[in-house]
Amino acid sequence: MQKVKIKYKRCIQNMQELGSDDDYMFSKIFLSLVYPDSKTENIEVEIKQTAGSDFEKDSIEIILPKDKIIILNYEQFRDSVENYYRKIIGNKGRGIRIENSSNIKMYNNIFTIPFEDEIDYSDEHHSGW
């Protein structure tokens, strides 16, 4: 199985323009994908999390870009995006460390924290995305 490199560039946490409100917090992660023979730039992945939830443990929803067709292992991609997000936000986060707190509201926080990961890639079309 070949690998695709994910190059994370930045994250905008709790974007008001995406609809963050008292119920849900929406964030956006910007990345590129480096395939064995090509590169796809300017990919934006949205993250939806219940407002006030535990940044370390509670589930987050990964909203995939609708305008890009990418052939990846979806589960590995989702796990990689979640891992990057949690590296930035939470009690071990490099961008914001939040511990034992609740009802914190900060909007449009921009974190330019590069990170790279690799996941499985197949050049055959399958039902991953």
Domain ranges of the chain: 2-121
DSSP, collapsed to helix, strand or coil, labels residue 65 as coil
Residue 36 has pLDDT above 90, yes or no: no
Q: Under a CB-based contact definition with an 8 Å cutoff, are residues 79 and 85 in contact? A: no
Residue 31 has pLDDT above 90, yes or no: yes
pLDDT of the residue at 87:
86
Q: Under a CB-based contact definition with an 8 Å cutoff, are residues 119 and 73 in contact? A: yes
Residue 89 has pLDDT above 60, yes or no: yes
- How many angstroms separate the CA atoms of 77 and 61, rounded? 13
How high does pLDDT run on average in the chain?
78
Residue 125 has pLDDT above 50, yes or no: no
Residue 79 has pLDDT above 70, yes or no: yes
| Percent with pLDDT over 90 in the chain | 29
Q: Under a CB-based contact definition with an 8 Å cutoff, are residues 39 and 87 in contact? A: no
| Percent with pLDDT over 70 in the chain | 70
- Residue 110 sits at the vertex; the CA angle it makes with 8 and 96, to the nearest 5 degrees, is 90
Residue 104 has pLDDT above 70, yes or no: no
pLDDT of the residue at 117:
96
Q: Is the dihedral of CA 18, 118, 75, 35 positive or negative?
A: positive
Query: What's phi and psi for 76, nearest 5 deg?
Result: -65, -40
Query: What's phi and psi for 39, nearest 5 deg?
Result: -140, 140
The mean per-residue pLDDT over the stretch 94-113 comes to 62
Q: Note the pTM of the prediction, 2 decimals.
A: 0.77
The mean per-residue pLDDT over the stretch 87-108 comes to 59
Nearest to 77 by CA among 112, 40, 24: 40
